[in-house]
Structure 1
Amino acid sequence: MDTPATSTTSARLELVFIGVSDVDRAKHFYAEVLGWGCDHDQRVTDGLRFLQVTPPGSACSFAFGEGVTPMRPGEQKGLQAVVDDADAARADLLARGVECTEVDEMAWGRFVFFNDPDGNAWVLQQLPAPSPAA
């Protein structure tokens, strides 16, 4: 059976789950420390609490809570968000008390790495400048 090279189905990544050990601590980190919007914090039943945060300017949100994912705390690695300025993003993280790396210069962008309190690993990438047209 031949598979078409392109899909006619439109898809947008809008929600990624993160495993955390303490929902209130994670809410504090993402909403208060990082300053991301807290879109939902709903206790549905005993053992089921859904919390969703969204970085400013992002079309993708992140969810965690009680009973919402089998993912273990700290298991999510390589979550990557694009920023306009890696130096400014790093300065903002440091001003908020978040430990992060120096800006890492690579051919495919400039990167800053940090972890949430559970060890879920985040990467902020400044895309490289477009190459001049030949």
Structure 2
Amino acid sequence: MNWTLEVVIVPVTDVDRAKDFYSNQLGFTVDHDTKIADGVRVVQLTPPGSGCSIVIGEGAVPKMEPGSIKGLQLVVPDLKQAHAELVARGVAVSDIQVLGENPRPMPDPLDNVGFVFFDDPDGNSWGVQQISALA
């Protein structure tokens, strides 16, 4: 039996601001933006190529403190390109960092150990790791 992670709820203070950040600055696809009733709205967004989405909203999501999610991680085949895209889109992203050491030589020294980090407007923290075998 496969167990797949499909959705992660990300708590935010302003749904429209967060939707704009994730869709326009990060390039996530807006799968749906549904107003169920007054004060009840669900927005689902998916990173390009991902099988897992995030959900932001109000009224229909669990009460969580905005900015309390730390360590969400995206994986890309080319960290330098991803970093350049984030900078071009106005995301306040860290410089490329090498964390740890590869146990064996890799074609690209950033494979497995190259990361960048950023926060969404509410302080939810994301990391981006390079794994070029995904290319």
* 8 A contact 1:78–1:121 mirrored in 2: yes
Q: What is residue 87 of structure 2 aligned with on the other side?
A: 94
* 8 A contact 2:70–2:124 mirrored in 1: yes
Distance 1:82 1:29 in 2: 19
Superposed displacement of residue 128, structure 1: 7.4
Q: Taking structure 1 as the reference length, what is the TM-score of the superposition?
A: 0.86
Distance 1:116 1:109 in 2: 23
> Which of structures 1 and 2 has the bigger CA Rg?
1
Distance 1:115 1:42 in 2: 25
- The partner residue of 1:112 within 106, 112, 116 is 116
Q: Taking structure 2 as the reference length, what is the TM-score of the superposition?
A: 0.85
Q: What is residue 61 of structure 1 aligned with on the other side?
A: 53
* 8 A contact 1:110–1:128 mirrored in 2: no
Structure 1 position 17 matched with structure 2 position 28: no
Q: Note the residue ranges of structure 2 that are not aligned, 5 or more in a row.
A: 102-111
Superposed displacement of residue 69, structure 1: 2.1
Q: Output the aligned Cα RMSD.
A: 1.3
Structure 1 position 47 matched with structure 2 position 63: no
Structure 1 position 74 matched with structure 2 position 78: no
Aligned pairs (5 A) from 1:22-41: 22-41=14-33
* 8 A contact 2:78–2:132 mirrored in 1: no
Matched residues, number: 121
Q: Note the residue ranges of structure 1 that are not aligned, 5 or more in a row.
A: 1-8, 130-134
Q: Which runs of 4+ in 1 moved over 2 A?
A: none
Q: What is residue 76 of structure 2 aligned with on the other side?
A: 83
* 8 A contact 1:82–1:127 mirrored in 2: yes
Distance 1:64 1:99 in 2: 21
* 8 A contact 2:68–2:123 mirrored in 1: yes
* 8 A contact 1:73–1:118 mirrored in 2: yes
- Per-residue CA distance 1:69-115 (angstroms, 9 max, x = gap): 21111011000011111111111100000011111112241000001
Distance 2:24 2:2 in 1: 34
* 8 A contact 2:45–2:54 mirrored in 1: yes
